[in-house]
Structure 1
Amino acid sequence: MRIGLYLDLAVGISPDGSACWQGGPAIARAARIGCPPDPFSTQGQDWGLVPFSPVGLAVERLEPFKAVLRANMRHAGALRIDHAMGLQRLYWIPDGNTAVDGAYVAYPFRELLEGVAAESWISQTIVIGEDLGTVPPGFTDTMVRAGLLSYQVFYFSNEDGVWRAPHAYRREAMVCASTHDLPTLRGWWICNDVNWRVKSARATETEAVIQRQDRKRDRKRLLDALMGAQALKPDPSYIEASEMPDDVIVAVHRFLAATPCRLLAVQLDDALGTVEQANLPGPSTSTPIGGARSPFPSRI
């Protein structure tokens, strides 16, 4: 393990944990973190986590935030900052309100970024910022200039119906096929995520029919991209396969290995050919899988 453990830094603080009890003015106990309503969650989302207070952090010279970084970096060779846009802004929901009633709160982006870079240098820990989807203008470029790696996900490289070629990926990044919040490769191929949206009442059957048609089209585009990059030998039988063939799973990772990204992460679920994803975004009471955390707020 040349790098060591790859750990994850959560976007917020558990309200029933000691960090919240002892946090002082740096902890905004009367708020929760979430996201506003969007096409994937019309009522918004409340993740049940407590945010840092930007005012309290300024009073304490960012020390509580740096202490969290040090505690995680002590055992990590690489650290992923969940919802890295939280270094610049977070969606707060006041106690007693729903996600519809929240608002964005600004954070001292430059100072927090400098703190991450400094702690990373001291501990010699690689830092990856989860910057998926549409982010504030200039956010990723600023993050990368500070020495953090971007987070490039294969699923989100389908632009205007064309999969981005390997050479077009950002070099200062970690690349992966999927994440714990997204369908596994095999699950994506058979529309397992679409089926779960119907089961959890997050989509109607009519909407699901359209989504399955779109997925069939995307499967062909995926195969075209893999064959075009010479990661997969041409074979017309792949498109009719009821399950994603092993050759295609390997080809996806061969494709990603050809990118200039500094790191490539392989999800164990994909290596084992698992169909179910680790976490299904949506209300935790409507599905037996995972929690309420969604990757889609990163696009707001």
Structure 2
Amino acid sequence: MTALVIAEHDNNSLKGATLNTVTAAAQCGGEVHVLVAGSNAAEAAKQAAQIAGVTKVLHADAPHLGDGLAENLAAQVLAVAAGYSHILFPATASGKNVAPRVAAKLDVAQVSDITKVESPDTFERPIYAGNAIATVQSTDAVKVITVRTTGFDAAPATGGSAAVESVPAVADAGISSFVGREVTKSDRPELTAAKIIVSGGRALGSAEKFNELLTPLADKLGAALGASRAAVDAGYAPNDWQVGQTGKIVAPQLYIACGISGAIQHLAGMKDSKVIVAINKDPEAPIFSVADYGLEADIFTAVPELVKLL
């Protein structure tokens, strides 16, 4: 058995989700290969070759692979899919866009969002917003899998010495084109990769209060800022800060929830955090059920005091 991991990268460097996916692939048994499909992505392929546990890197390079268009990337995966028992994607926006196309073309059932590998054909995945765990067994010859990266530790980025093999790039499908990308620039860590997250809820009352209260705390801790869906819907925070089932799934070392009640939708996105601290004046708030440390207090008093102590 050999597993193929589809690397996520920006043509210059690998994204962290690839390392977590390599860990999941290694648990499926057999060798682990990585496909790096991009444009002038030799550096990303070199980094993939250094990942501990990877035995081969397939490098496909062409201009039309540079922007990660799902049609072209899926075709490239299918072109090299023969001989692999498992094809794994990170469960990111990109992975979720490409994996179903590959599964459909291979005529197999996709296994989505796995958090544990029980055996080469059996996996665990959360359902009902994480309130239940389903054990799924696949009898398909090829398992097409998306990996919830918070469920697996990152593989060491160094220590490997895999061979890099160039493979022919597929032709441009020509049915979609890259128009542009608007990237939010911030000095803070990217939310899904941050080790510390300070998150706020609707109780903050306004965008001004959200920034006034949480920014100093995040600055002190070197943390990323997050928000509940209610806070985002109310306009207190931008969409890309949303943590939850319909936002980003995070698992930092420390998650500080300020004025967040803890709706199921939000808990599904952060309850795998290593340490959860909740500050809320409602003693019945559901967030306390998952918190390692709970402070029953008014956030407008407690947070500034915490900042002073730091």
Q: Shorter chain as normaliser: what TM range?
A: under 0.3
Structure with the higher helix share, 1 or 2:
1
Q: TM-score w.r.t. structure 2 length?
A: 0.25
| Higher normalized contact order (CA 8 Å, seq sep 6+, divided by chain length) | 1
